[in-house]
Amino acid sequence: MDAAPIQSGAMAQRIVCDRCTDSPLREARISTAFWQGDGLVVLRNIPAMICPVCGEEYVDDATVVALDRMRGNGFAGCVAADPLPVPVFDFAGMERCGDS
């Protein structure tokens, strides 16, 4: 998740995808998940820009810093919006998974 380049000249202030080079990005809200200690943490409603062609996601620097601070302090003072039960599978012994 990086900042996308801004075109100059006639296309000034048009934010485009780094991968597609000419696809204008659209505003959206995204989710991400990561491990925090032994637990899985999900963050949703993160403001971002998304390429409608390739799906590349971009988050601005201020949002990345805020996310890093939240994560760095272990989400102290934050209240979870919802509990999310997550199934956990152990790869060991799953050779038969998917067999009929």
CATH architecture of 9-72: Roll (3.10)
More confident residue, 30 or 83: 30
Q: Edge-to-edge, what's the strand order for the sheet holding 26-36?
A: 26-36, 39-50, 57-58
Q: How far apart are CA 81 and CA 100, in angstroms?
A: 39
pTM exceeding the 0.85 threshold for the entire prediction: no
More confident residue, 64 or 95: 64
**pLDDT tier, 13 (very low <50, low <70, confident <90, very high otherwise):** low
Model confidence pLDDT, tens digit, residues 19-51: 887 789 999 999 999 898 888 899 999 999 999
Q: Given the DSSP bridges, would you call strands 39-50 and 26-36 parallel, antiparallel or unpaired?
A: antiparallel
Model confidence pLDDT, tens digit, residues 52-61: 999 999 999 9
Structural domain boundaries in the chain: 9-72
